[in-house]
Structure 1
Amino acid sequence: MLIGAGVGLIIISIFLIGVNHPRPEWGQYWMIRPLVIVPLAGAAGGVFYYIMDFLRYRGGWRTALAYVVSVIGIIIGLWMGIVLGLVGTLWH
C-alpha cells in the first residue's frame, strides 16, 4: 500500500508542479483534492497487488497471469485516481 501511495504521490506531484498560475475559479486550496485522491488510489492498487499474491505462489502460467493482472490493476487504479483528482481543474 505504501509503495502504491508513494507512486501516486510522485505522479500527481509531477502534474501539479507545472501549474504556475492556477485559474481563480478553482479556489485557493484546489491542490488538496488531487494530493489526497491519487495516493489513495495508488494505495488501493497496492492492496489489489497484495490480494493477487495468492496466485503468484501457484507457479507456472498462473504466476505470469497474476503479475500481468496485478500491473494492469495498478495502472487502471492510478489512472482513475488521476482522473478523479484532476477533474474540474486541470482536466475539464
Structure 2
Amino acid sequence: MTLDKSLAPRPLVTPALGKRTLTGAIIAFVMISIFVILGGKGDPAWGAYWRIKPLLLTPALGALIGVCYDVTEPLRRLDGWMGKLFVALSLFGYAIGLWMSLILGLAGTMWN
C-alpha cells in the first residue's frame, strides 16, 4: 500500500504563500492605480480623499485572492487534464476576484 501524495496533509503556511500574497496585492494595486490616476479629480461629492479607500482596499483583497490561489496548489499539481483544468479555473477565479475587488474598492465613487 502506498501513500497517495494528493491526500497527504499540507501545511497551511507554505514558502510560496508570501510570494503569492504579495504578487496578488501588487497586481491589484497596479490595476486600481490605473483607474484612480485616469479618473482625474473626480466628483466633488466624493470628498477630497476619495482615492484612499480604493488604494487600500483593493490591494488588501488582492492579497486575499493570492492566499486563495496558494490554497488551491494541490489541485493544480494533479496529473493529466485535471491539473490543467484546475490551473485554468484558478486563473479564472483570480480574474473574477480581482474584478470584484476593483468593484468594492471603487464602490461609492467611480462605480455607481
TM-score (norm 1): 0.92
Segments of 5+ residues of structure 1 without an aligned counterpart are: none
Match in the other structure for 2:111: 91
| Distance (Å, rounded) in 1 between the aligned partners of 2:87 and 2:36 | 30
Amino acid at match of 2:58: V
Count of paired positions? 92
Choose the corresponding residue for 1:63, options 78, 83, 91.
Answer: 83
Structure richer in helix, relative to its length:
1
C-alpha separation in 2, matches of 1:55 and 1:21 = 44
Unaligned runs of 5+ in 2: 1-20
Q: Deviations over 1:24-50 (max 9, x none)?
A: 111111111111111122112211111
| Structural RMSD (CA) | 1.1
- Which has the larger Rg? 2
Report SS of the residue matched to 1:6: helix
2:30 paired with 1:27: no
| Identity among equivalent pairs (%) | 43
Match of 2:99, as an amino acid?
Answer: W
More divergent stretch after superposition (9-18 vs 41-50) = 41-50
